[in-house]
Structure 1
Amino acid sequence: MQALTDLPSLQQVAASLTEYWSPRVVAEFDDSYVKVAKVHGSLAWHSHEHEDEVFFVLKGHLRIELAQGAVELPEGALYVVPKGVEHNPVAEQECHIMLIDKKSTLHTGNVTTEKTRSLNEQLRPL
């Protein structure tokens, strides 16, 4: 059994990822997943009709564009995008993030792009 002190940090897991905008599930609780991702550039304008989405910046800076303006998230900042709100995450430089989503949340919500990842892709072993 792996000792708790041997577990990698979320920052280490995010840094080890090789693909941008490809979240990986690192934990689950109740009806939610905790994910980490390495991001750079723009994801896509989308919304999640029935789910809120939590963004926490582990490293770098993330901007979440919204219809009424943008939210700037420095390292250590957290923001909740309310259900139904159209948004577009953007990272001008490489950024590492943690996401908390309900298990029913689709990666890019109501749109599908070349960056959209299925739940099976997000659940792949690290």
Structure 2
Amino acid sequence: MDYQPINLREKLSKFSEQWSPKIIGEMNDYQFKLVKVVGNFVWHDHKETDEVFIVLDGEMAIAFRDGEVKLSKGEMYVVPKGVEHKPYADKECHVMLVEPKGVVNTGEVQGELTAENDVWI
């Protein structure tokens, strides 16, 4: 058993890639992932699960086909399963994602922003 806290700032300093979630912990079948985002992501959904965005630093938005939600440091939003969405940020934003093991960042959409899955830092 490891009794050391997970330092979010230290973990964020270990990578610079955008839109490439890194796992920092697990709880039951869920993973806690850190990701740096800037620019536009792709339209996608997650048919089997909700997805939680927690903004640690900066600002971002999540576009939906019928509106959007803007998030700032200290705010979170739960995207319901099956809802098509497109995250974006004008400047780099640091985010924690909470989602089940095995979830691919682009859902079923494959492309240049599809990140390698299950990467730990």
TM-score (normalised: structure 1): 0.88
Unmatched tracts of structure 1, length 5 or more: none
Q: Paired residues, what number?
A: 121
How many Å separate the matches in 2 of 1:63 and 1:86? Answer: 14
In structure 2, what is the equivalent of residue 74 of structure 1?
A: 72
Q: C-alpha offsets along residues 86-119 of structure 1, whole Å, 9 cap, x if unaligned?
A: 0001011000000001113221102011010132
Asked whether the equivalents of residues 15 and 38 of structure 1 are also in contact (C-alpha less than 8 Å), the reply is no
Structure 1's consecutive aligned runs of 4 or more residues displaced over 4 angstroms after TM superposition are none
> Which structure shows the bigger proportion of residues in helix conformation?
1
In structure 2, what is the equivalent of residue 123 of structure 1?
A: 119
5 Å-filtered alignment, 1:103-114, equals 103-114=101-112
How many Å separate the matches in 1 of 2:7 and 2:58? Answer: 16
Unmatched tracts of structure 2, length 5 or more: none
Q: Which amino acid aligns with 2:106?
A: T
How many Å separate the matches in 2 of 1:39 and 1:15? Answer: 14
Aligned-residue RMSD, C-alpha: 1.6
What is the Cα deviation at residue 82 of structure 1? Answer: 0.2
TM-score (normalised: structure 2): 0.91
Match for residue 10 of structure 1 among 5, 8, 11: 8
